[in-house]
Amino acid sequence: MNLTRNLSKSLSRAVDRRKFHSCKHSKSQIVGYKCVADPNRRAFNVSDSSWGQPRAFSGSFHVDKGGLHVKPLVIERIETVGTVASTDPADKQPLNYDQIFIRDFVPSALAFLNGEAEIVKNFLLHTLQLQSWEKTVDCYNPGQGLMPASFKVRTVPLDGSPEELEEVLDPDFGESAIGRVAPVDSGLWWIILLRAYGKITGDYSLQERVDVQTGIRLILNLCLTDGFDMFPSLLVTDGSCMIDRRMGIHGHPLEIQALFYSGLRCSREMLTVNDTTKNLVAAINNRLSALSFHIREYYWVDMKKINEIYRYKTEEYSTDAINKFNIYPDQIPSWLVDWIPDEGGYFIGNLQPAHMDFRFFTLGNLWAIISSLGTSKQNKDVLNLIEEKWDDLVANMPLKIIYPALESDEWRIITGSDPKNTPWSYHNGGSWPTLLWQVNIL
What string of H, E and C letters represents the secondary structure of the chain?
CHHHHHHHHHHHHHCCHHHCCEEEEEEECCCCCCEECCCCCCCCCECCCCCCCCCCECEEEEEECCEEEEEEEEEEEEEEEEECCCCCCCCCCCCCCCCEEHHHHHHHHHHHCCCCHHHHHHHHHHHHHHHCCCCCECCECCCCCCCCCEEEEEEEEECCEEEEEEEEEEEECCCCCCCCCCCHHHHHHHHHHHHHHHHHHCCCHHHHCHHHHHHHHHHHHHHCCCCCCCCCCCCECCCCCCCCCCCCCCECCHHHHHHHHHHHHHHHHHCCCCCCCHHHHHHHHHHHHHHHHHHHHHHEEEHHHHHHHHCCCCCCCCCCCCCCCCCCHHHCCHHHHHHCCCCCEEEEEEEECCEEEEEEEHHHHHHHHHCCCCCHHHHHHHHHHHHHCHHHHCCCCCCECEECCCCHHHHHHHHCCCCCCCCCECCECCECHHHHHHHHHC
- 145-168 pLDDT, tens digit each: 899 999 988 888 887 677 788 888
Burial (Cβ within 10 Å: 0-12, 13-18, ≥19) of residue 59: buried
In a domain, 217, yes or no: no
Helix axes 184-201, 2-14, angle to 10 degrees: 100
Q: Which residue range forms the structural domain that includes residue 365?
A: 224-442
Neighbours of 360 (CB within 10 A): 27
Query: How many domains does the chain divide into?
Result: 1
Neighbours of 246 (CB within 10 A): 19
C-alpha to C-alpha distance for 425 and 419, rounded to whole angstroms:
10
In a domain, 282, yes or no: yes
pLDDT score recorded for residue 28? 34
In a domain, 256, yes or no: yes
pLDDT score recorded for residue 167? 83
In a domain, 95, yes or no: no
Q: Rounded to two decimals, what is the model's pTM? A: 0.82
Q: Are 350 and 249 in contact (CB under 8 A)?
A: yes
> Which residues partner with 304 through β-bridges?
none
In a domain, 56, yes or no: no
C-alpha to C-alpha distance for 384 and 366, rounded to whole angstroms:
12
pLDDT score recorded for residue 27? 40
- 227-249 pLDDT, tens digit each: 888 899 999 999 999 999 999 99
What's at 308, amino acid-wise?
A: E
Q: Which residues of 311-340 are buried (b: 16+ CB within 10 A; e: fewer)?
A: ebeeeeeeeeeebeeebeeeebeeebeebb
C-alpha to C-alpha distance for 207 and 195, rounded to whole angstroms:
8
Q: Please report, in tens digits, the pLDDT of each residue of the chain (442 residues total).
A: 444 454 445 445 444 332 333 444 444 332 222 223 333 333 223 333 322 333 333 333 333 434 443 333 333 446 788 888 887 777 777 777 888 999 999 999 999 999 999 999 999 999 999 987 777 767 777 778 899 999 988 888 887 677 788 888 888 888 877 777 889 999 999 999 999 999 999 999 999 999 999 999 999 999 999 888 889 999 999 999 999 999 999 999 999 999 999 999 999 999 999 999 999 999 999 999 999 999 999 999 999 999 999 999 999 998 889 999 999 999 999 999 999 999 999 999 999 999 999 999 999 999 999 999 999 999 999 999 999 999 999 988 899 999 999 999 999 999 999 999 999 999 999 999 989 999 888 8
In a domain, 416, yes or no: yes
What's at 413, amino acid-wise?
A: I
In a domain, 78, yes or no: no
The conformational region for residue 251 under phi > 0 = left, psi -120 to 50 = alpha, else beta, is: left
In a domain, 189, yes or no: no
